[in-house]
Structure 1
Amino acid sequence: MLILPSRRQFLTGLGASAAVTGSTGVYAFGIEPLYRLVVTRYAPVLPRWTPGLSLRVAVLADFHVGEPFMPLDRIAEIVDATNALKPDLILMLGDYPAGPSVTYRKIPLTDFARVVAPLKAPLGVYSILGNHDWWDDEEAQRRLAGPVQARRVLEQVGIPVLENDALRLVKDGKPFWVAGVADQIPFLIQGLDDHGLEDVPGTLAKVTDAAPVLLMIHEPELFLDVPERVSLTLAGHTHGGQVRLFGYSPAIRPVDGTDFSYGHVVRRGRHMIVSGGFGVSRLPVRLGVPPEIVLLELGSDTEAVSKTVQGSTALRG
């Protein structure tokens, strides 16, 4: 897939990386975060999956919209690339606004919602929230309650937000469930930073039959609490560590002895895929983990090793 950045992105990228010296630094600060976009494909054989249920799912995580590193025209390119994959279902895993350390100019979330509104899939587009969706909303931080602005603007353009909720869908006469939990670290106030809103048991209690479950979480640590009933858990949040070399993300510590930083995780017979997402946080750098659309081909007869189909980097005037 060829992803062509706009002239505006090219000029913005030059400005953002002008002070960085060395070819690796220029690439990590000015090329990979702004211009690379890959499609990472997974075809896992999942437990408790209905025979004959074939499902193509696009997973989008951690947009972190804001200039200069995630302007609206970059979001539009991601939307177009996602629609071109013709998924049956699109799932969005939270963290829509960028944090202040990587934002030179905030972009209103209403504008973000307008640009992602054209996402299309026959079975729908569904989302959850991440920590930045809460942290970015000063009123929600004061109230210690939602709904946050990110939820309001997404639902205004027809993208449901699942917070401790589950929805039954049907493909070719075969049902399955999409479920999403609320965020684990929504509050910045000292003493409340470990008071999450997630409710995995309550969410799964809404699943009323034996059909397979796709569970959306934002922070992958929650996977420790996900029961075997779930066929596949999908997470974001880590950005793959933003720097990933030789299959290792040094910024992300293992969780209970397991690497939850990126990719397909299998733990005690349970499956999770952690997306590297699109944006940046804290530091405006990505190296070895380019922005990605995750594409799931579920219902395959054979185990497939995940592979990345990388788009060439090109510039247009």
Structure 2
Amino acid sequence: MKTRKFFAPVTASSHPRIVRHVITDPRWTLPDLTMAIFADLHVCDPWTSLAALRRMIGQVNGLGADLILLPGDFIVDRKLPARFIEAERIIAELAALSAPLGVFAVLGNHDWWDCRLARQSRFARNSVAEALEISPIRHLANRSSEIVHGGGSFWLAGMDSQGARKHLHLPGFHDPEAAFADVPEGAATILMAHEPDYFAEGDGRAFLQVSGHTHGGQANIFGWRPMTPSRYGGRYAYGHIEEGGRHLIVSGGIGYSGLPLRILQPPEITLVMLRRGI
């Protein structure tokens, strides 16, 4: 059983570990807030099946988080040897997620370039987006939402994938100006963006960015993560990163890309607690 922590094929994705981070920041003046991050599901048979997804949904709900964030990559990488599962079936299962302040999602790069509908429609339509729009999950496609909490409020901004058309050497669908358009200047704001690379832009409108995408490199060799899909190498590969007074949380996520194998980087559900700063 111990080997599951180091080499994580097949069944390990249905039994993820819980990784916790605590962030204390003076810009957070509201009561403590707990967020569960459920990233990079890549649902498929046999690696991360619908049955496994149901078990994990129960695990996420059992954490009692105030807010649940889904930072994209719901569907499987086409290069992975696996059976594709339609977005409608995945989102129908995820509709069982529940948190007092809501469940929010953005799309990932695989939700675009591995979506048959997106490719057939030349990216005019997307099966994951359409399934989200008719579900109880709030899809923050380059938009924001004000969330009331503890007698005050904060803002959650969501950005579409930066790498949605990278394989075609075309820009992504992220639009920071649209994502922050409704956010009042100086408001306590969290940004959810699938790829962590946007953090390098130094956008001060969000004091915290939440991302997935990297799978923690999917291989972690004593802190060296050579498979990290980022133009910054391992700089934003995993965990809690602080730069310029801003915070980035990169979840190791659940599923796989390329190969159904994780080395020293087991699947995880990430739990983040925000606390009042001094």
Please give the TM-score of this superposition, normalised by the length of structure 2.
0.91
Spell out, residue by residue over 1:235-283, the C-alpha distance to the aligned partner (whole angstroms, 9 max, x if none): 1100001111322312227755871110011112211000000000011
- What is the CA distance between 1:200 and its match in structure 2? 1.4
Show the counterpart of 1:19. Answer: none
Alignment correspondent of 2:252: 276
Which one-letter code corresponds to 1:242 in the other structure? Q
C-alpha distance 82-158 of structure 1, shift in aligned 2 (>3 A)? same
CA contact (8 A) 1:46 1:232 kept: no
Tell me what 2:22 maps to.
43
* Displacement after TM superposition at 1:141 (Å): 2.6
Find the aligned partners of 2:92 and 2:116 in 1 and give their Cα distance. 22
* Structure 1 match to 2:128: 150
Selected match of 1:61 from 39, 42, 48: 39
Partner of 1:223: 199
The DSSP-based 3-state class of the residue aligned with 1:152 is helix
Count of aligned positions: 277
Residue 36 of structure 1, CA deviation: 3.9
In the TM superposition, what whole-angstrom CA distance separates every residue of 1:99-140 from its partner, at most 9, and x where no partner exists? 122243111222111211110001110000001111122332
Q: Measured at CA, do residues 167 and 66 of structure 1 come closer, stay the same or move farther in structure 2, by a change above 3 Å? A: same
User: Structure 1 residues 188 and 252, CA, compared in 2 at 3 Å: closer, same or farther?
Assistant: closer
Q: Deviations over 1:132-169 (max 9, x none)?
A: 11112233234433441101112222112111101001
* Mapped pair 1:267 → 2:243: yes
CA distance in 2, matches of 1:55, 1:27: 31
Residue 249, structure 1, aligned to residue 249, structure 2:
no
Q: Which of 255, 275, 278 is 1:299 aligned to?
A: 275
Distance of aligned partners of 1:253 and 1:113 in 2 relative to their CA distance in 1, 3 Å threshold:
closer
Letter in 2 for 1:71: S
Where does structure 1 lack aligned partners over 5 or more consecutive residues? 1-22, 303-317
**Aligned ranges 1:159-174 → 2 under 5 Å:** 159-174=137-152
Closer, same or farther: CA 254–83 of 1 in aligned 2, 3 Å = closer
Say if 2:90 is the partner of 1:112. yes
> Larger Cα Rg: Structure 1 or Structure 2?
1
- Structure-1 residue corresponding to 2:162: 184
Structure 2 unaligned segments of length 5 or more: list them: none
**CA distance 1:175–1:189, change in 2 (3 Å):** same
Structure 2 residue 6 is the aligned partner of structure 1 residue 30: no
Equivalent position SS for 2:93: helix
Does structure 2 retain, via aligned residues, the 8 Å contact 1:135–1:141?
yes
Counterpart of 1:288, as a letter, is L
- Counterpart among 150, 153, 156 of residue 175 in structure 1: 153
- Indicate if the aligned counterparts of 2:34 and 2:272 stay in contact, CA closer than 8 A: yes
Q: Distance in 2 between the 1:107 and 1:130 partners? A: 16
1:240 maps to amino acid: G
